[in-house]
Amino acid sequence: MPAEVHSILWAVFWAMATLVIYGISLLTHRRLGRWWTSPLLVTWLACLALAFSLHATYGEYIKGTHWLVTLLGPATVAFAMPIYEQRDMIRRHWLILAIGIVAGTTIAIGSSWVLASVLNLSPSLRLSLLPRSVSTPFAIAFSQDVGGIPELTATCVVITGVVGAALGELVLKLLPLRSSFARGALFGMGAHGAGTARARQVGAEEGSVAGLVMVLAGLASVLVAPILAPCLR
């Protein structure tokens, strides 16, 4: 078999495998509904295990599935709808939202820095971890500004999303939060797009607040990066 046909067949295989695993995980989650059956977590671990057992490289895998990642762009555009639906509520509570985003961004960058220092991680790894709670394009811009490794940052961002979408549910169970703003914002602030998608399953208000917080937190971190950069180097 020519090498080209071979690689195309693998690409089709990975696309199909990912979609099938995702479909099964959706059904399982509907049945069981626990935080550890989250489709993102299950699909991620199952695909990773499959890729390992077949000795696949990232290049082979992404060739067939890159179109899925590309759809994140139009999905971000789609967030205009839930945000527009909740415009009155957002207009009423904009100050609380702004306080939450400033506090959240400070906590996110501060906690990454302190934890990475305590665990004695290398400076480049520590800088790459700083922007992990904002969505990928913002995080990469931040990482470049402060002198991290953008590639590593992208990986950490996605792992944060996977872990955060699951952890958020745990936090909801432990904290008695009365306002839907607090419930939504914790997902948007802590786990960017993945958390926001999860927040939509909690409720419509939570979902749109999470979407707005995600975008604003991303913008805030890109604005903060040039100010932080000289202090961190």
Partner 1 sequence: MLRKTGILMGRNRWLQIAGLIAIWWACETLVRALALPIPGGVVGMIVLLALLASGRVRMAWFSRGSSGLLDHMLLFFVPATMALLDHPELFSLTGLKVLVVICAGTLIVMVGTALVIEACFRWSARHAR
> In this complex, which beta carbon is closest to partner 1, that of residue 2 or of residue 193?
193
Please give the size of the binding site for partner 1, defined by CB under 8 A.
Answer: 102
> What x/- string results for residues 137 through 176 when contact with partner 1 is judged by CB under 8 A?
xx--x---------xx-xxx-xxxxxxxx-xx--x---x-
Residue 167 and residue 4: Cα distance in Å, rounded?
A: 42
**C-alpha angle 108-197-146 in degrees, rounded to nearest 5:** 30
Pick from 12, 16, 48, 49: which binds partner 1 (CB under 8 A)? 48
Which CB atom, from 125 or from 232, has the smaller least distance to partner 1?
125
Residues 55-114 within binding reach of partner 1 (CB under 8 A) = 56-59, 61-62, 65-66, 68-69, 71-85, 93, 96-97, 99-100, 103-104, 107-108, 111-112
- With contact defined as beta carbons under 8 Å apart, do 104 and 222 qualify? no
What are the helix (H) ranges across the chain?
A: 3-32, 39-53, 58-70, 72-78, 80-85, 87-92, 94-118, 123-129, 136-146, 150-174, 180-202, 204-232
Tell me: does residue 119 bind partner 1 (CB under 8 A).
Answer: yes
Minimum gap (Å) between residue 8 Cβ and partner 1: 17
Can you tell me which residue has the tokens 């792992």? 159
Distance in angstroms (rounded) separating the CA atoms of residues 76 and 159: 19
Question: Would you count residue 11 as binding partner 1 (CB under 8 A)?
Answer: no
Q: Is 16 in the site for partner 1 (CB under 8 A)?
A: no
